[in-house]
Amino acid sequence: MLRYWTAGESHGQTLLALVDGFPAGVPIDPSLINVELKRRQGGYGRGGRQRIESDEVQIRSGIWRGTSIGSPVALEVPNRDYKIERMDDLPRPRPGHADLTGSLKYLGSIRGVLERSSARETAVRVAAGALAKQLLTPFGIRTLGYVVELGGEKIEPVEGDLDTLRKARDASEIYSLDPSRDADIKKNIDAARKAGDTLGGVMEVRVEGLPFGLGTHAQWDRKLDGRIAQAVMAVQAIKGVEIGMGFEAARRPGSEVHDPIHYDESKKDQPHLGYTRPTNNAGGLEGGMTNGMPLIVRAAKKPISTLAKPLASVNLDTKEPEEASYERSDVCAVSAASVIVENVVAFEVARALVEKFGGDSLQEMQARYELFQKMARER
Ligand code: EPS
């Protein structure tokens, strides 16, 4: 089974991800992980911390001469702003953060809770996802994450091939597919900063080149939609996940929701085996399994809960009403979240790929992939 854990605090010495069950024989290029780490640090609205950090992965195990060897892969991203031992506790919990509940649950400091609950930890989730992407590449599976709404402003995603969409996204300072909207959105972020406020948004992830049958209908905890929702909801500040048409499907009759099935013999060598759909409202998943169409996942991120103009709170020592504590933070991290969500989705897809095609080595997985495509074509 492909899985990972992380460790590390926001201002601790380092961040770690331990990826277990990664197949042997996968060429690994650390610079591809670093590209993702750099993008995660960017996006308009980030705070001072990103001028201190310059995230780069150090691969500590599991790779020999540029190729995975089937043993656990330890990924490390050191914190330049390592100062946790010198930091005071926070007396007044911030509404929306883990501060209040965490300090009561663990009978400890707010500092001890916020340092781990901080979204800084997502640096190594991105590293794990960017490693997993290197297993997807030999199967022609590609991912793209972008912002579709920020501070209430919708930026409709456009259709197009993934390379064109990627170019558009990489030209946008807020990582949307329409860079012409950047100026207005940036104005909104500036206004929020001025008002001591923060902004949230919605991001979408598209995964192309998927074969049939990743995930399963047969058991609830192996359904791929469920696993993706869990991985995405577990990203800091994510409050909602949609697949394909999502909540809108609940409002329409079935005839407007379900995607008709066509067959085109001339396309039978493609990953979808020639079964095409004129629409993709299901977002690439039916019965908890991939159906050969692109996977479409959307996530809603709430605004950052550290407000420069703080909300009402209580001093935990005196129990007196006081404003919540404030520490340096970001005004908007929606762009960063689009990178994070893309990478956690990539990891879940890789996990399902390993399950379907056996996970000891890339060579064996590829042979089994080809055999499955042939058998499914002939079914
Ligand atoms: C965060 C607070 C800020 C953010 C941080 C998440 O950090 P600091 O307190 O050091 O200014 O910048 O995110 C990151 C450091 C990061 O790399 O994404 C929080 O409280 O969640």
CATH classification of the domain holding 254: 3.60.150.10
The pLDDT value given to residue 240: 98
The whole-angstrom separation of Cα 146 and Cα 2 is 26
CA of 372 to the centre of ligand 1 (A): 45
The whole-angstrom separation of Cα 35 and Cα 41 is 10
The residue whose CA is least distant from atom 14 of ligand 1 is: 120
Going by C-alpha positions, the residue among 25, 2, 20 that lies closest to residue 362 is 25
Q: Which residues contact 127 (CB under 8 A, 6 or more apart)?
A: 17, 33, 36, 37, 57, 75, 77
Residue range(s) defining the domain that contains residue 182 = 3-378
Q: Which burial class, exposed, middle or buried, applies to 137 when counting CB atoms under 10 A from its CB (0-12, 13-18, 19+)?
A: middle
Predicted TM-score of the model (pTM) = 0.97
The pLDDT value given to residue 356: 98
Q: Identify the DSSP state of 154.
A: E
The pLDDT value given to residue 96: 97
Best probe residue, ligand 1, of 14, 88, 120, 327 (max atoms within 8 Å of C-beta): 120
The pLDDT value given to residue 359: 85
Q: How far apart are the first and last CA of the chain?
A: 28
CB 199 within 8 A of CB 188: yes
Domain count within the chain? 1
What residues of the chain score a pLDDT lower than 70?
none
The pLDDT value given to residue 159: 87
Q: Match 């609830």 to its residue by tokens.
A: 220
The pLDDT value given to residue 158: 87
Q: Identify the DSSP state of 290.
A: E
How many other C-beta atoms lie within 10 A of the C-beta of residue 153?
15
CA of 305 to the centre of ligand 1 (A): 11
Structural element, H or E, at residue 297: strand 295-301
CA of 329 to the centre of ligand 1 (A): 6
How many other C-beta atoms lie within 10 A of the C-beta of residue 269?
9
Q: Match 């010198």 to its residue by tokens.
A: 86
Pocket of ligand 1 (CB under 6 A): 10, 47, 49, 53, 81, 118-120, 123, 306, 327-330
Q: List, edge to edge, every strand of the sheet that includes 295-301.
A: 153-154, 142-150, 201-208, 295-301, 238-243
